[in-house]
């Protein structure tokens, strides 16, 4: 992340340059009297829980034109369609998916459908929309949503194992059956939500 770091000698220098900063994909803060910004990495982060390395346990590399690149444990894959990658060890592996449009995760297709080896997901703050079915029946127990997300599509997290769900204040719409069949015991819905689809939280 340091490769995106820019330091300013003082606040005046920051004010003069701020209009040229790539917003909104920017976090600004002050540290030791210096202003700086750190560009948010526009990647979906998936934690895989690999219990064995049989030939059937492969990294999910979707045949999807919306995916731009895939990085596994810090190593960028040669991305071809359809790509393939075999995990070489058990345990937790961190995989980052970069989408051609960083505002949208998925193109209304089940990118991670029926993939039980997924453990948790972190959506980047560049993401404002999750397509229909994208994380359907993927095995997730934990999901961190983007702070800028407004729309969660139909069946987006259907059939996972999520136990705690905090929807950020940016959310306005939750699709039909979006969280059906999860194991949610704690749920926070902000008052910004104006539309909740049918059966959105059924059997949770």
Q: Is residue 127 domain-shared with residue 202, that is, in the same domain? A: yes
Tokens of 151: 């729309």
Can you say whether the dihedral through the CA atoms of 26, 31, 168, 165 is positive or negative? Answer: positive
pLDDT score for 16: 67
pLDDT score for 178: 96
pLDDT score for 128: 92
pLDDT, tens only, 15-46: 666 566 554 444 444 444 444 444 456 888 98
Q: Is residue 25 domain-shared with residue 45, that is, in the same domain? A: no
Is the omega angle on the peptide bond into residue 148 within 30 degrees of 0, that is, cis?
Answer: no
Residue 186 CB neighbours (<10 A)? 8
Q: Is residue 99 domain-shared with residue 155, that is, in the same domain? A: yes
pLDDT score for 30: 46
Q: Is residue 71 domain-shared with residue 112, that is, in the same domain? A: yes
Residues 6+ apart with CB under 8 A from 197: 154, 174, 175, 176, 177, 178
- The list of the chain residues with pLDDT below 50 reads 1-5, 23-39
Q: Is residue 33 domain-shared with residue 68, that is, in the same domain? A: no
Rounded to whole angstroms, how far apart are CA atoms 132 and 46? 18
Structural domain harbouring 66: 41-204
Q: Is residue 126 domain-shared with residue 167, that is, in the same domain? A: yes
pLDDT, tens only, 122-144: 998 889 999 898 888 888 999 99
Q: Is residue 57 domain-shared with residue 135, that is, in the same domain? A: yes
Q: What CATH number is attached to the domain comprising 194?
A: 3.80.10
Q: Is residue 56 domain-shared with residue 94, that is, in the same domain? A: yes
Q: Are residues 110 and 71 in contact, defined by beta-carbon separation less than 8 angstroms?
A: no
Q: Is residue 21 domain-shared with residue 103, that is, in the same domain? A: no
Q: Is residue 51 domain-shared with residue 107, that is, in the same domain? A: yes
The number of domains in the chain is 2
pTM of the predicted model as reported, rounded to 2 decimal places: 0.73
Residue 112 CB neighbours (<10 A)? 23
């Amino acid at each position: 992340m340091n490769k995106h770091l820019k330091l300013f000698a003082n606040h005046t220098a920051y004010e003069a340059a701020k209009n040229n900063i790539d917003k909104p994909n920017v976090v600004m803060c002050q540290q030791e009297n210096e202003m700086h910004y750190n560009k948010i990495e526009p990647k979906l982060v998936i934690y895989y829980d690999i219990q064995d390395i049989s030939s059937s346990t492969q990294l999910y590399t979707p045949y999807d034109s919306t995916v731009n690149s895939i990085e596994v444990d810090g190593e960028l894959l040669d991305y071809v369609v359809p790509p393939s990658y075999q995990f070489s060890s058990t345990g937790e592996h961190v995989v980052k998916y970069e989408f051609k449009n960083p505002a949208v995760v998925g193109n209304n297709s089940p990118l991670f459908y029926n993939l039980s080896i997924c453990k948790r997901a972190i959506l980047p703050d560049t993401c404002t929309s999750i397509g229909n079915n994208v994380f359907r029946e993927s095995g997730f127990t934990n999901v961190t949503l983007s702070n800028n997300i407004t729309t969660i599509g139909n069946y987006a997290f259907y059939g996972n194992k999520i136990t705690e769900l905090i929807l950020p204040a940016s959310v306005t719409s939750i699709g039909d059956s979006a969280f059906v069949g999860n194991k949610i015991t704690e749920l926070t819905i902000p008052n910004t939500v104006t539309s909740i689809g049918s059966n959105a939280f059924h059997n949770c």
